[in-house]
Chains A and B, each alone.
Chain A
Amino acid sequence: MSTTSVPTTTTPPVAPPVTAAAKAKKRLTSPAASITALIIAILWTLPTFGLGITSIRPEADIKSSGWWTFFTNPTISMKNYETVLAAQGQSALGPYIINTFVIVIPSVIIPLVLATLAAYIFAWVKFPGRDILFIAVFALQIVPLQVTLLPLLKLYVDVGIAGKFAAVWLSHATFALPLAIFLLHNFMKEIPAGLLEAARVDGAGHVSIFTRVLLPLLTPALAAFGIFQFLWVWNDLLVALTFAGNESAPMTLALANLSGTRGTAWHLLSAGAFVSIVIPVVVFLSLQRYFVRGLLAGGLKG
């Protein structure tokens, strides 16, 4: 039952040595291939680019002409960003940006720590019923979030945390656990048993083996899951919509509402969308190696 063993090692993007054969192939197929690739690249970039240009144009210009006219008549205005980044105001996203951070940080740390503990047990400590429990946890990965939302919301109302940050943290943490445990378990299994045995002979108990021997070796796996979960939570709308209240709403929720109520306020929507995009894109680009690993393992989540 291993979903991680996809035959895809994530090679870092280093240019491989060009053989004579590859060169020959290239000369034959190059022009058509390059043009096709270029067309796809433009199609994939242009929409974002258009909105990006729009976000730095004055409101009046945005309403009266398309973003492509910017190049013949460049007028730059940062007013849209000032409006959406403000701490107060009808269209200010400032408080929601802070909420997003408040939601994301515990929602990444809590499942990461709990899953590491559980993965250690599943990988290295024997007890009756362990394998059945592990398969049960694995199977929970495929449960769609939708199935849990309404009963869980009622539960939160009963406990009195509905609409508070705690409800959002707990939900994200719970939903992340099956994948996190599965992923970290697979990484832990790859650590040579001799290493743990040696530590045990030296008199180390479970806790010191866990903290001193395993944790340092697990850094790449923790990073992979951490980034995956970070992007997941940052970009989430469904959990926020269901469990967050007015005080705890993240940016995605504020943007979705802005888009619904002021669907033609493109000066606000464009700047707001760009603010929400910047951080995940930076994180993604700088840590994509780890992310791809997490993505490969976590395809079934949600």
Chain B
Amino acid sequence: MFLALVVFAAIIGVILFIASRFGGKRGDYMVAFLFLLPVVFMLGVGLLYPGIKTIINSFFDAPGTSFIGFDNYQKIFTSGDEIVVLRNTVIWVIITPFVATGVGLLYAILVDKARIEALAKAFIFLPMAISFVGASIIWRFVYEYRPDQPGVKQIGILNQILVWLGLEPRNWLVESPLNTLLLVIVMIWIQAGFAMTVLSAAIKAIPDDVIEAARLDGVTSFGMFRFVTLPSIRPAVVVVLTTIGIGTLKVFDIVRTMTGGNFDTNVVANEFYSQSFRADNQGLGAALAVLLFILVIPIVVYNVRQLRASEAR
């Protein structure tokens, strides 16, 4: 590592040294060329080329030798296994952003201006610093199931609660489609803190006189939320929803760590990995990656449009 850093420092040193030799307009071009060279090279080789290659691969068969048109895409939308993958991805992308944003917004409002606001917020946004792998382990332990036999005690809190209530413990992660929802909860748990942080900042940015005026008009608490708070923070809500939506689309760590994609919990991002690196089906893997890319685009476009609209206002 140290050697690599020394080499890197030397390269930067050379670039800066050469750049400092030049002046004037031609110097501008020279400096621009030198400063951009590493970046353009890395992006070209590391993002652009592989991206295009993957798009091409998606029209080829498993070993990548013969052209098969849209067969890979057709398979994604027709084969039974892949349909389950698509269904689960839809569930993830619809539920996670809305629930996480809802919880984040509710909590941001509840603790707004409370005496222990900073501490109260810390509880919710700590999960943001935890890796998906760590979070998955934490939640697998919550869902942990022990066979319901005499002498065997539950060690997962969720099943223990069932036992305390006089119900039978369940093997949560095996029961489809409930298990997908249980995995979604992990993502919600991680993302709610992000929603809360952004929305709380937006709420605090609402001018005091607006709130005061509404209060003098005798607006109720709910009316205040509906007609003052929500319209004011709308752009922030859109950003939060779309950001979590994009993140959710690409998350595969949770599924991989908790169920390995078994028991009908697979999603596109995990299926991409299995097909590309486990099943050696290059073509199908590439098509799934392209599908992810295509799904991201409308969300980004919507996001940019909303931002422009709110800037124009």
Q: Do A and B bind each other?
A: yes
In the assembled complex, the Cα of A26 lies from the Cα of B114 at a distance in Å of 9
Q: Which residues of A contact B221 (CB under 8 A)?
A: 25, 28-29
The reply on A150 being an interface residue by CB < 8 A is: yes
Q: Which residues of B contact A166 (CB under 8 A)?
A: 4
Q: Which residues of A contact B28 (CB under 8 A)?
A: 125-127, 206
The reply on A33 being an interface residue by CB < 8 A is: yes
In the assembled complex, the Cα of A114 lies from the Cα of B77 at a distance in Å of 42
Stretch at the interface among B65-73, B87-95, B189-197: B189-197
**A230 nearest CB across to chain B (Å):** 10
Q: Which residues of A contact B297 (CB under 8 A)?
A: 142
Q: What 0/1 pattern do residues 259 to 289 of B give for CB contact below 8 A with A? A: 0100000000100110011000010011011
In the assembled complex, the Cα of A125 lies from the Cα of B27 at a distance in Å of 10
Q: Which residues of A contact B289 (CB under 8 A)?
A: 144, 146-147, 149
Contact (Cβ within 8 A) B35 A117: yes
Contact (Cβ within 8 A) A48 B253: no
The reply on A207 being an interface residue by CB < 8 A is: yes
In the assembled complex, the Cα of A36 lies from the Cα of B120 at a distance in Å of 12
Name A118-138 residues within 8 Å CB distance of B: 118, 120-121, 125-127, 130, 133, 137
In the assembled complex, the Cα of A256 lies from the Cα of B151 at a distance in Å of 31
The reply on A188 being an interface residue by CB < 8 A is: no
| Residue from B36, B53, B297 having most chain A Cβ neighbours under 10 A | B36
Residue on A with the closest CB to B130? A277
Contact of A277 among B134, B193, B273, B311 (CB under 8 A): B134
**A176 nearest CB across to chain B (Å):** 10
The reply on A284 being an interface residue by CB < 8 A is: yes
The reply on B309 being an interface residue by CB < 8 A is: no
In the assembled complex, the Cα of A276 lies from the Cα of B133 at a distance in Å of 10
Contact (Cβ within 8 A) B153 A64: yes
Given contacts A13-B118, A142-B297, A174-B47, contact A106 B8 (CB under 8 A): yes
Contact (Cβ within 8 A) A284 B103: no
Contact of B236 among A7, A181, A283 (CB under 8 A): A7
**A153 nearest CB across to chain B (Å):** 8
Residue on A with the closest CB to B107? A40
Contact (Cβ within 8 A) A147 B51: yes
Contact of A114 among B38, B239, B253, B304 (CB under 8 A): B38
In the assembled complex, the Cα of A26 lies from the Cα of B202 at a distance in Å of 20
Residue on B with the closest CB to A117? B35
Contact (Cβ within 8 A) B115 A15: yes
Given contacts A40-B106, A146-B292, A255-B133, contact A50 B38 (CB under 8 A): no
Given contacts A148-B51, A169-B4, contact A241 B273 (CB under 8 A): yes
In the assembled complex, the Cα of A64 lies from the Cα of B43 at a distance in Å of 53
Contact (Cβ within 8 A) B46 A147: no
Contact of A6 among B126, B212, B235, B276 (CB under 8 A): B235
Contact (Cβ within 8 A) B42 A173: yes
The reply on A162 being an interface residue by CB < 8 A is: no
Q: Which residues of A contact B20 (CB under 8 A)?
A: 205-208
In the assembled complex, the Cα of A259 lies from the Cα of B141 at a distance in Å of 11
Contact (Cβ within 8 A) B1 A175: no
Residue on B with the closest CB to A63? B155
In the assembled complex, the Cα of A15 lies from the Cα of B197 at a distance in Å of 15
Name A264-291 residues within 8 Å CB distance of B: 266, 269-270, 272-273, 276-277, 280-281, 283-285, 288
Given contacts A144-B289, A169-B4, contact A238 B252 (CB under 8 A): yes
Q: Which residues of B contact A269 (CB under 8 A)?
A: 137, 141
Chain A binding surface SS class: helix
In the assembled complex, the Cα of A283 lies from the Cα of B45 at a distance in Å of 32
Chain B binding surface SS class: helix
Contact (Cβ within 8 A) A151 B141: no
Q: Which residues of B contact A3 (CB under 8 A)?
A: 239, 303-304, 307
Contact (Cβ within 8 A) B1 A105: yes
Q: Which residues of A contact B15 (CB under 8 A)?
A: 117
In the assembled complex, the Cα of A211 lies from the Cα of B138 at a distance in Å of 45
Residue on A with the closest CB to B224? A25
The reply on A140 being an interface residue by CB < 8 A is: yes
Name B8-56 residues within 8 Å CB distance of A: 8, 12, 15-16, 19-20, 22-23, 27-29, 31-32, 35-36, 38-40, 42-43, 45-51, 53-55
Given contacts A28-B221, A44-B124, contact A117 B39 (CB under 8 A): yes
Give A contacts to B, CB under 8 Å. 1-3, 5-11, 13, 15-16, 18, 21-22, 25-26, 28-29, 33-34, 36-37, 40-41, 44-48, 50-51, 54, 62-68, 102, 105-106, 109-110, 113-115, 117-118, 120-121, 125-127, 130, 133, 137, 140, 142-152, 155, 165-166, 169-171, 173-175, 177-178, 181, 205-208, 211, 231, 234-238, 241-242, 252, 255-256, 259-260, 263, 266, 269-270, 272-273, 276-277, 280-281, 283-285, 288, 292, 295-296, 299-300, 302
- For the complex with contacts A8-B201, A281-B130, 9 further pairs of A-B residues with Cβ separation under 8 Å are A6-B239, A8-B202, A22-B113, A47-B138, A67-B157, A114-B42, A144-B293, A155-B50, A259-B136
Instruction: Please name the 8 residue pairs, one residue from A and one from B, whose CB atoms are nearest each other, closest first.
Output: A174-B46, A235-B131, A299-B243, A13-B118, A284-B129, A151-B50, A148-B50, A151-B53
> Can you pick out 19 interface pairs between chain A and chain B where the beta carbons lie within 8 Å of each other?
A3-B239, A15-B115, A18-B113, A40-B107, A47-B142, A50-B157, A51-B138, A66-B156, A106-B1, A146-B269, A146-B273, A178-B43, A206-B20, A236-B131, A241-B273, A260-B257, A277-B131, A299-B246, A300-B243
